Amino acid sequence: MLNKKQNLLVLSVMAAALSGCGGGGEGSSSSFTQKSQISGDLNCQTSACSMPAGAATDPAGKVYLLQNASNQEATVTIDGPLTNSWDAVMTRISSDTAGNGRIGGGARGGDGAADAILAQKMQVVYDNIATYAGISQRAQARMKLEKRVSASARYALNDSRAWYDSIGSRTLNTTMKASAALPNGGTVYVWAQDDAAAVTAEQANFLAERFANSVYPIESAVISEPWGSVASTWRAISLDSGTKDVHLVLAQLNQPANAFKGLMGYVLPTNALLKSVALDPACATEDCSPFANSNEALVTFLNVDTLVAKDDGQLWSQNGRGPALSLSTLGHEYQHLLYSYNKLFRQNITGATTWENELAAQTMGYLVAADTYHGGRSNGPDAHPDLGAGSDFTRFLASPACDLKRWPALSSDASGVSCYPKALATGMLMLHQYGAGVMKPWVTGANVGEKALNDGLASVGGGNYGSLMQRLYTSLLLADFPTWAAGYGFPAKQVTLPASPYLIGGKAISLPEVRVGKQEVQLTMDSTQEAYRVTLIPMGGKVTIAMPANSRLSLVKR
């Protein structure tokens, strides 16, 4: 009998173009047109598959892919020269929950409670959206002046301003420490909490300069600006369409203070709403707290203790672990602003999924950080903050299986494993394989969830969600080969962004090759997980394996 924690198998590579529930596949040059629930690179009749005649002499690194696109488990028999010199991994493709979720805020870090708070605050908006729409119709004229005043506010160095911290449910008194001009004619302002860790001019100017010359222009070119015209539902009750300024608030987000554990930063879309809406008579009986607590600004909150952290025995440097992580976090959080603008405010889309929003954020955080930190996975001062010891990438290698689509409010799956590392690795795979072109159709388009990601992948010839997940886990089986097999892993890539109003002359961002040691990859043998290794035990020249519903099998020649 087979142990439930282990599967016996034999297999193949390259997914066929199918659109079964929860995934689908991409085309294979050797796929077969036939009535079979199993398809891919092998010749399959029903659930009996044969390896190609020349498979015995396949070179090391040869990959075969199979797919069970049905909603039922299938017992597959594979006839061919499979031995223990082949590796295999099974990838389950779960169904999407798009439309059941809500566009919430975005928080990065190990503080699951922060995600829950943001989700709860956004739920108030969705529960009362009909009331808010009625207020919007009555408020057209009254709001015009307030919107213009909010859009035209200007600040000078050392000015004071109060900000409402929605996660901490507190008002923060802050001082403006730095500013920089943005390519769109706006300004980025950096504010520091008065009664938290001191922020020097050097530290604040680093953040302002990198946002103005890297984060903002890159994300504007790749996705969009953070604000503009909005749907009629929001037009009278949100920021003026001409709003261009962005605010970065450095606050102590962890109690007690902690630079590298807990909450690193967050964004809440309701900060783009107008406070005076809370004075409408309807708010006497309805919950208008999203308006009353709004900061009336495009604002990102960052953990101050991370930015000001010094490496052991060193003076503060922008190449330190803390500042580097702050910049990656800023790129991540700023994407949440773009996502909420494009989906919620511009198109009035209220159904979405956490995993898709966080995946886009992790992807942009990685890309933006690579523009400043060019060292990839090195140990030098120029190392990428998402790739070093203790980073999300190393955590992914140590525990790869995490079903993104099961990402609930607490930002971890049912087994308690955070999906941020898996989201980072998936974003890295897309950037290293396809470049940044995947982002705009995905984040600015009319779809959400798997359909939105598939829009982006289709635009760059990247298949779809199902094939992307299979490609990610197959890459782990190829980790110790001298070079990445074509279409897999994280080879060196130059991401070229064309000239635009945001990037005069364009920009090239070099992504160094990311190497992975075989000993780093801890793929489980537990068949209840999203992805797991499969042990091949040939019997009579055949291998038999149970393929779960909507699953994909990858076989790699060693």
Residue 412 DSSP symbol: B
Q: What is the model's pLDDT at position 414?
A: 45
Instruction: For residues 479-500, give the mean pLDDT.
Output: 96
Q: What is the model's pLDDT at position 190?
A: 98
* Distance of alpha carbon 517 from alpha carbon 526, whole angstroms: 22
Model pTM?
0.90
| Residues 126-173 pLDDT 10s | 787 778 877 877 666 556 556 655 656 899 999 999 999 999 999 999
Spatial strand order of the sheet with 299-303 comes to 106-109, 263-267, 299-303, 246-251, 187-193, 170-181, 160-165
CA dist list (Å): 309 to 168, 257, 368, 511: 22, 11, 20, 26
Give the residue with greater pLDDT, 8 vs 103. Answer: 103
* Distance of alpha carbon 507 from alpha carbon 494, whole angstroms: 10
* Distance of alpha carbon 299 from alpha carbon 216, whole angstroms: 13
Name the residue among 334, 439, 436, 324 with its Cα closest to residue 386: 324
Name the residue among 511, 509, 531 with its Cα closest to residue 522: 531
Percent of the chain topping pLDDT 70: 86
Instruction: For residues 404-421, give the mean pLDDT.
Output: 65
Q: What is the model's pLDDT at position 453?
A: 97
Q: How many CB atoms lie within 10 A of CB 31?
A: 22
DSSP characters over 242-294:
T---EEEEEE--SSS--SSSSEEEEE-GGGGB-GGGGGSGGGGTS--HHHHT-
| Residues 395-404 pLDDT 10s | 999 999 999 9
* Distance of alpha carbon 112 from alpha carbon 118, whole angstroms: 10
* Distance of alpha carbon 168 from alpha carbon 477, whole angstroms: 43
DSSP characters over 99-122:
TTS----EEEES-HHHHHHHHHHH
Instruction: For residues 79-94, give the mean pLDDT.
Output: 89
Residue 30 — very low, low, confident or very high, per pLDDT cuts 50/70/90? Answer: very low
Q: What is the model's pLDDT at position 10?
A: 32
Instruction: For residues 94-102, give the mean pLDDT.
Output: 61
With residues binned 3-state (H G I as helix, E B as strand, rest as coil), the percentages for the chain, rounded to 5, are 35, 20, 45
| Residues 414-427 pLDDT 10s | 445 688 999 999 99
| Residues 425-472 pLDDT 10s | 999 999 999 999 999 999 999 999 999 999 999 999 999 999 999 999
Strand residues in 441-541 grouped as ranges (E): 493-497, 507-511, 531-533
420 by Cβ neighbours in 10 Å (0-12 / 13-18 / 19+) ranks as: buried
Q: What is the model's pLDDT at position 186?
A: 96
* Residue keyed to tokens 């987000």: 253
**Residues forming a β-bridge with 106:** 267
| Residues 294-313 pLDDT 10s | 999 999 999 999 999 999 88
Instruction: For residues 376-391, give the mean pLDDT.
Output: 92
Average confidence score pLDDT of the chain: 87
Instruction: For residues 323-332, give the mean pLDDT.
Output: 98
Name the residue among 477, 487, 486 with its Cα closest to residue 518: 477
Report the alpha-carbon angle 114-118-119, nearest 5.
Answer: 115
Q: What is the model's pLDDT at position 27?
A: 38
Least confident of 30-39, 335-344, 404-413, 481-490: 30-39
For 489, the enclosing helix (H) or strand (E) is none
Torsion angle of the four alpha carbons 275, 280, 283, 287, in this order, in degrees rounded to the nearest 10: -30
* Residue keyed to tokens 């190393």: 394
Q: What is the model's pLDDT at position 131?
A: 80
CA dist list (Å): 315 to 203, 329, 416: 12, 22, 37
